Amino acid sequence: MPTYDYPRAALAVDCVIFGFDGKVLHVLLTQRTTPPFVGAWALPGTYLHENENLESAALRALESKAGLKNAFLEQLYTFGAPTRDPRERIVSVAYYALISTDRWQRTGKPAPGAAWFPVATRPDLAFDHESILTVALERLRAKVRYAPIGFELLPAKFTLGQLQSLYEAILGAPLDKRNFRKKILATGILERLDERTQGASHRPAQFYRFDSKAYKKFCQAGFNFEV
Amino acid sequence: MPTYDYPRAALAVDCVIFGFDGKVLHVLLTQRTTPPFVGAWALPGTYLHENENLESAALRALESKAGLKNAFLEQLYTFGAPTRDPRERIVSVAYYALISTDRWQRTGKPAPGAAWFPVATRPDLAFDHESILTVALERLRAKVRYAPIGFELLPAKFTLGQLQSLYEAILGAPLDKRNFRKKILATGILERLDERTQGASHRPAQFYRFDSKAYKKFCQAGFNFEV
DNA sequence: ACAAAAGTGTTGAAGATACACCCATGA
DNA sequence: TCATGGGTGTATCTTCAACACTTTTGT
C-alpha cells in the first residue's frame, strides 16, 4: 500500500454527457447505490487509474457507466473545493461529451443504473454536480456559436430542420428558418446528399452531412460561425 | 504518514503569469534549483495543500514564487499525462494570471530566482510547460476579444494608445487606430478622466479608466466586444 | 523647424435582420 | 382536403473596413 509524506487528494473524472432526441437536450445521469447520496442522481465518473491519461479515464467512465464509445469529449474544468465530497478530499476533472442521436437511440437504455434526463427537468444532483452541469451548459452554448460541435449531437446524415432544432434547444431561443439556412449553407461545411426523408406526413426533407474537409478549409480561411 | 489503498497522483498548480510593459507581452518564469531540469526555466507552481482550494494554491504560488498579490486569475486547463513529470505522477491544474503594468513595475525584480521574459523570446521551458504556455496564450487571445480582461494588464488609468498597443501585443497584429477608438469608446466601458500625460515630446494623451459598472450594464445589454 | 504620438469622419461594402407564402406528403 | 413541416428571396438596416491629415508638445 502506497504511503506518502503528505496527505493527497484523490483524483477523479466526471462526465457531463449530452444527447439530443430531436427536440430537447438530454443529459445522462447515474443513480448512486453507495453512500454518500444513496439514491440521488449524479454525473457518471470514475477514479483516475495509475498511468492513465485524464481523457482516457473520462472515456472509460463513458463506456463503463454509460455504455458509450467514441464520443466527442473535451475537458471542461477542474473542481477542487476541499469539502465537495463529504468522505474525503476528491478533486474532479470534469469533461463533457456529446453523443449523436443515432448512438443515443441505439443505447435507448444506456447502462443499468443510468438514465437520460431532459436537461430542463433533471433531478437534483449529488455533490457539486449541479455546478459542473451549469458550467458544461455554458460551455456548450458558447462553443456551439463558433465551432461546429453541434454536429456531434446529430446522426451522420440529418436535415436542416433537425440541425436548427438542435441549435434552438442548446441556445434556448427560436431562430429564423431562412436566415439559419442561409448562414449555415454559406459556410460550405454541409454536403447535400441525394437522399430525402421518407414516410413523414409532410414534404420530405433533404439530407445533409457535415463535411469536415470543407470545415478545415473554412477554419483556415478565417472562421466565422455565429449562428 | 498517510497511506492509501491505491497509488495517488500528486496534485500541483502552475501559473502562467502575464505582464505588459507597454510594448511587449511578458511571462514570469522561475529558474529551477532542484532536479529535475536544474537550471531550466519553468512556470511558477506549487503543490496543493490539504484543505486548500485550487485557486488559493494558485494565489499562494503567485505570492511566494513571484511576490505578487491580487492578480486577475482564472483556471486554464488540467494537465495530467502520466509521464509529464519524470519523478512521479503529478497532475497539474494550470491557471493564468494578469498583472497590471503598475504592479509589474513596482515588482521590477519579482522574487529571487524569478524573472520576466518577453513571450516571443522566452527560453525553453521545463516539463510540459511549453504546452501550458501555448494553451494560455490561445486563451488570452481568444478571451481578450470578447471580454475586457485586457484592462487587467494596464494601470488603473491609461491612454487609448496604451490600450491599443496592448491589444496589438496580445493579438500579434496591428489595429486601425480610428476604428479601435471608435469601437472601444462605443462600448461605454471607458471613463474619460480630467487628466493627460505629461512630459512626452509630443501631444499629451487623455487618460481613461475602466468603468466596471458600465461594463456590467453593457454585458446585460447583450455583450459585444470584438476588437 | 522637426520629430513623435494624439486625435478626428466619411464612405462603400458586407453582413444581419425581418418577414410570408407555396410545396410535397400521409392521413 | 387538411395538417404538417420543408423550402425559398428581398428590402432595409446595421456594422465593419479602409483610409489621411491636423494638433500638441519637447527638443
Query: Strand C: which nucleotides have any atom within 7 A of a protein Cβ?
Result: 3-10, 16-20, 23-27
Q: What is the pLDDT of residue A6?
A: 94
Distance (Å) from the alpha carbon of B154 to chain A's nearest alpha carbon: 27
pLDDT at B66: 82
State yes or no: pLDDT of A172 exceeds 80.
yes
The contacts of residue B99 (CB under 8 Å, 6+ apart) are: B17, B18, B19, B28, B68, B71, B107, B152, B153
Contact criterion met (CB < 8 Å) for B3 and A2: yes
Place A208 in a pLDDT band, splitting at 50, 70 and 90. very high
C-alpha cell of A158?
Answer: 440529418
Say whether the peptide bond before residue A44 is cis (omega within 30 degrees of 0): no
Interface residue A222 vs chain B (CB under 8 A) = no
- Using the beta-carbon criterion (under 8 Å), do A2 and B1 form an inter-chain contact? no
Residues of A whose CB is below 8 A from B59: none
> Does A205 lie at the interface with B, CB-CB under 8 angstroms?
no
Helix axes A177-186, A160-171, angle to 10 degrees: 110
Q: Does residue B103 carry a pLDDT above 90?
A: no
On whether any CB of chain A is under 8 Å from the CB of B105, the answer is no
A77 touches chain B (CB under 8 A): yes
Residues 6+ positions from B120 with CB-CB distance below 8 Å: B24, B25
| Chain A residue numbers touching B47 (CB-CB < 8 A) | 6
Q: Note whether B8 contacts A6, CB cutoff 8 Å.
A: no
pLDDT at A162: 97
The pLDDT confidence band at residue B222, using thresholds 50, 70 and 90, is: low
Q: C-alpha grid cell for residue A11?
A: 483524483
Q: Does the pLDDT of residue B10 top 90, yes or no?
A: yes
pLDDT tens-digit readout, A16-36: 999 999 989 999 999 999 999
B178: nt with nearest C1' to CA:
C8
pLDDT band at A215 (very low <50, low <70, confident <90, very high): confident
**Strand A25-31 with A41-42, pairing:** antiparallel
Calculate mean pLDDT across residues B185-209: 95
**Range in A97-111, B106-120, B153-167, B177-191 the model is least confident about:** A97-111
Residue B179, nucleotide of least CA–C1' distance: D17
pLDDT in tens, B80-93: 999 999 999 999 99
A50 vs A103, which has greater pLDDT? A50
Instruction: Examine the pLDDT at B190 and tell me if it is beyond 70.
Output: yes
Q: Which of B47, B78, B82 sits opposite A51 (nearest CB)?
A: B82
Residue A125 clears pLDDT 80, i.e. is over it: yes
Instruction: Place B111 in a pLDDT band, splitting at 50, 70 and 90.
Output: confident
Please judge whether A82 and B47 are an interchain contact, meaning their C-beta atoms are less than 8 angstroms apart.
no
- For residue A91, what are the CA distances in angstroms to A9, A17, A98, A152, B91? 6, 19, 23, 28, 11
Give, in Å, how far the C1' of C12 lies from the CA of A225: 24
The predicted pLDDT at position A221 comes to 64
Instruction: Report whether pLDDT(B108) > 70.
Output: no
Determine the distance in angstroms separating the CA of B118 from the nearest CA of chain A, rounded to an integer: 27
Does any CB of chain A come closer than 8 Å to the CB of residue B60? no
Chain B residues whose beta carbon lies within 8 Å of the beta carbon of residue A2 = 3-4, 6-8
Decide if B226 touches A, using CB distance below 8 A. Answer: no
pLDDT in the model for residue B65 = 85
Output the pLDDT for position B202.
Answer: 96
Residues of chain A in contact with residue B77, where contact means CB-CB under 8 angstroms, are 75
* Distance, C-alpha B167 to centroid of its chain: 14
How much is the pLDDT for B68?
86
Beta strand pairing call for B90-99 and B10-20: parallel
Quote the pLDDT of residue B38: 97
